[in-house]
Amino acid sequence: MKLTPDFFHYKSTTMVARDLLGKKIVHQIGNECYEAYITETEAYLGKDDEAAHSYGNRLTKRTRIMFQSPGHIYMYQMHQQVLLNIITMSEGIPEAVLIRAVEPVSDSTLMSRNRGGRTGREISNGPGKLTQALKLSMQDYGKTIFTSNIWLEEGRIPKQISSTVRIGIPNKRLSTFYPLRFTVQGNPFLSGKKEPIDSQSGWRSLQVAEGAELLYNEESGEEA
């Protein structure tokens, strides 16, 4: 079942970042269909978050989409990589969630091809890697997950969710230390240092559950 705008109602950006874990992202390009479960996210809290592009309500050609309604897609380039963000709040409140890592749903042959033949966790265990694997680009800037060839569906339920400080956020005063990175604990498809892998890759065996326990962890690790 595809997510609808109701998914964002009455939720903070932090809640959305947590609730996106396990959701399936789908990108349809002609006869090719890329599918993956979201395993890692980071929340960015707009005008009060020095790590956010929209800090201080900064409105530029690049950030204008952040001021649009929930479900809009904000793509940006960093270090020659393209990163995927989803806008989370009501129009005029420029907050977003960065999708940091995903796990291929089943046959990852196409995603491996897009990553130059890389296999295993290296296919999509980072924000730049996953956009390559899913064949996302700057041309997807401004689309929405409700009306385009990119959408989200219900997927899997994490057993446990860990929270750490965000990766790669130096010299942003208090914003550097916000625990706004969320991961499916025990999943191999995570950025940063390798962590212990759960026998079920961090997922509950059933698709429907009451929810995941949220754990807080002070460690962050380095980008792989």
Per-residue confidence (pLDDT) for residue 218, from 0 to 100:
46
85-97: average pLDDT: 98
DSSP 61-110: TTTGGGGS-TTBEEEEEETTEEEEEEE-SSTT---EEEEEEEEE-S--HH
Q: What is the pTM (predicted TM-score) of this model?
A: 0.92
Per-residue confidence (pLDDT) for residue 210, from 0 to 100:
44
Buried b or exposed e, range 18-45, using 16+ CB within 10 angstroms: bbbbbbbbbbeeeeeebbbbbbbbbbbb
Phi, psi of 152 (to 5 degrees): -120, 145
Q: In which band, very low, low, confident or very high, does the pLDDT at 206 lie, cut at 50, 70 and 90? A: low
5-216 topology per CATH: 3-methyladenine DNA Glycosylase; Chain A (3.10.300)
How far apart, in whole angstroms, are the C-alpha atoms of residue 82 and residue 137?
6
DSSP at 203: B
pLDDT tens per residue, range 114-163: 999 999 999 999 999 999 999 999 999 999 999 999 999 999 999 999 99
Beta bridge partners of 82: 77
How far apart, in whole angstroms, are the C-alpha atoms of residue 144 and residue 142?
7
Helix (H, G, I), strand (E, B) or coil at 182: strand
Residue 200 scores a pLDDT above 50? yes
Residue 212 scores a pLDDT above 70? no
Of all residues in the chain, the percent with pLDDT exceeding 70 is 92
Q: Is 11 exposed, middle or buried (0-12, 13-18, 19+ CB in 10 A)?
A: middle
Mean pLDDT of the chain: 92
